[in-house]
Amino acid sequence: MKTEKSERTEAAKSAEPPRRAGRKTREVAIRGIAISPGVAIGAVYDTSEAPTEAPRRSVPAGQVEAEKARLAAAVVASRKQVGKLKGRLAVLPEEAQDELEPLLDAYSMMLGDSRLLRGARRRIAEELLAAETAVQDEAESIAGTILAAKDDDKPGLRRRAGEVREIARRLTRNLTAMPFRSLKGVPPGAILVAEELTPADAALLDPTRIAGVATEEGGADGHTAIMLRALGIPSVLGCPGLTEAARRGDEAVLDGGTGIIVIRPGAAALEAGREALAGYAKEKQRLAKLRRLPSVTLDGEEVELQANLEIPAELPLIAQAGAQGIGLLRTEFLFMNREDLPDEDAQFEAYSQIVGPLAGDGVTIRVLDWGGEKDMQALAEGVVPWHTGPNPALGLRGIRMLLKRPELLEAQFAAILRVATQGPVRILLPLVTIPAEVAQAREIYERVARRLRRKGIPLPDKLPPLGAMIETPGAALAADAIALEADFFAIGTNDLAMYTLAVDRAETEVSHLYDPLHPAVLRLVQFATEAALRLRMPVSVCGEMAGNPRLVPLLLGLGIRALSMNASAIPRVKQMVRTLKIDDCARFARRVMEQGDPRLIQELVMNFGNPDGA
């Protein structure tokens, strides 16, 4: 199925004069869109995918039911493929998961009782179209309607239209038995070149094998671009004439920071590429040296920098980054892609693989945070209904679900208590909104501890702290009361911003309104932090704000002294911490909190440390 851009590209190619046959040797530099920083030098590996355009076909009236059956079979196959992609989520970085999970959810919805499928079935019946023709026609109709909408968020409209077209392409391939793109043969160190990569393609890339990515189509605001940035692969998209200029095996130099790829570089270009690669490597080494240095401000204030952990396989990255332990261990990985629930022993073994190797560094384990929007088959079929309501974010999720099904909470508490003899741990309760939820959880917690002690199972003399995650306006505004029940706070700024601003970042029509620097969000962070500090209770930030070096002065100024983030963000955050003085941060925070305009707050944050700034 052709996009408007691909049609323009093909038209431009057809207008070019014929090129001489034979292998090209001339250097070609192509400027595209800088997507993901970094420099790559390697051999081109071009990968193409058979076009999904199927010949238009009509069918006789007697074949309508057979075409509907073909469509139904293609839907089943497509659902299985999307399910396999969801299984891939657990091994992707958090940012990639955050981008891909809602996209796959959107795909799943379109493969349900959606307008796309209803329209396709109607076209089969009324217009006597073959299934693949009906799907393509209906997808183009929907995409056209989306793109014609009067909305200033044009990138968001293009993403939505692209999602519809992508599902139509997947259905068409399954209907016509066209092969999907295969990335299994990409050699280590190669620069992947393609006309276009879908987000699903990007999810299959291995950052340890692929040196860089360049495509002829694509832009900075698409799902694929976000995925490539999250994977940390040097990338340039939107390179005109790329697939015509590059051939498999050609040497190439790609600079994801400048947006330039040079095919068959001459001596000068190759030398410049090597210098840029060395410079980039030195920068990484310089940041790596920070691993051994303390995270302390110029005036001697220590700031604890910890890592968020999705799966045990990420432990080496945490050690390399110099994290002071794990500030947020998400336990959902234990429940994903399985038909049964992990018992106490299985969870104990999993936690032991994490707590033991950290050699005494703390681990904050968040108990299961599940809602109807997450794909956990065992829970969906065995514990709570798959559909928990029209809005899962406001339904039975987090601590609410665990208190409704206390056997889940008891198994997790027992496993965590047992592993607490191997190293310092804390337990974090998700989506707390009222003090009673912490009190109820503590009753279960202490009951489990008494049961384990009666069995003679070794436990720490002092039970690990039980904390509350502050991620809703209600929890932030009731923080002083919740603090009387909890042992510590972890402020989850991602959900806090979402609930405060009533904005879902995955919803393209409103995603531009998502702003963690909105004064309402900052005031809630301040309120919760001050409530904890009044009781001398530990408080940390574990959302995306924690990993943004530019926001560190503000967070320190508000009183935060513990941050948990993706491991890759720790060196740059530490670098910022070591340039700051707490008094300067406090003055800066007071100035920011006086503002009511998010744009002014953004300007202050961006200009912090400049002579004319704060």
Render 40-96 in DSSP notation, one character per residue: EEEEEEE------PPPP-B--GGGHHHHHHHHHHHHHHHHHHHHHHHHHGGGS-HHH
Residue 363: closest CA among 303, 416, 295: 416
Q: What separation in angstroms does the CA of 184 have from each of 91, 195, 204, 205, 214?
A: 17, 18, 9, 9, 17
Question: Is 397 one of the annotated binding-site residues?
Answer: no
| C-alpha triplet 215, 219, 223: angle, nearest 5° | 95
Does 607 count as an annotated binding residue? Answer: no
Q: Is 495 one of the annotated binding-site residues? A: yes
58 CB-near residues (< 8 Å, 6+ apart) = 127, 128, 129, 130, 133
The answer to whether the CB of 103 falls within 8 A of the CB of 231 is no
Distance of CA 64 to the CA centre of its chain: 42
* Spatial separation of the C-alpha atoms in residues 411 and 124, rounded to whole Å: 51
- Does residue 299 have a known ligand-binding role? no
Please state, in angstroms and rounded to a whole number, the distance separating the CA atoms of residues 330 and 333: 7
* Residue of 239, 387, 518, 542 marked active site: 542
CA 60 to chain centre: 47
Q: Across-strand partners of 215? A: 194
DSSP-derived 3-state class of residue 564: strand
Tokens in use for 512? 């531009």
- How many angstroms separate the CA atoms of 86 and 607, rounded? 40
- Residue 387 is among the residues annotated as catalytic for this protein: no
* 24: three-class secondary structure by DSSP: coil
C-alpha dihedral sign at 65, 71, 72, 74: positive
* 308 belongs to an annotated ligand binding site: no
SS3 call for 509: coil
Tally of CA atoms within 13 A in the half-sphere of 88 that contains its CB: 19
Q: What angle do CA 382, 387, 389 make, to 5 degrees?
A: 135
Take residue 141 and report the two structure tokens written for it. Answer: 């109709």
Q: How far apart are CA 287 and CA 353, in angstroms?
A: 28
Instruction: Choose, from 223, 239, 518, 585, the residue flagged as catalytic.
Output: 223
Active site includes 223?
Answer: yes
Distance, CA of 318 to chain centre: 17
What is the C-alpha to C-alpha distance for residues 167 and 110, in angstroms, rounded to an integer?
A: 7
DSSP 357: G
At 481, list the tokens: 């009361």
What residue numbers does the annotated binding site for phosphoenolpyruvate cover?
330, 366, 494-495, 505
What residue numbers does the annotated binding site cover?
330, 366, 471, 494-495, 505
What residue numbers does the annotated binding site for Mg(2+) cover?
471, 495
Residues taking part in catalysis: 223, 542
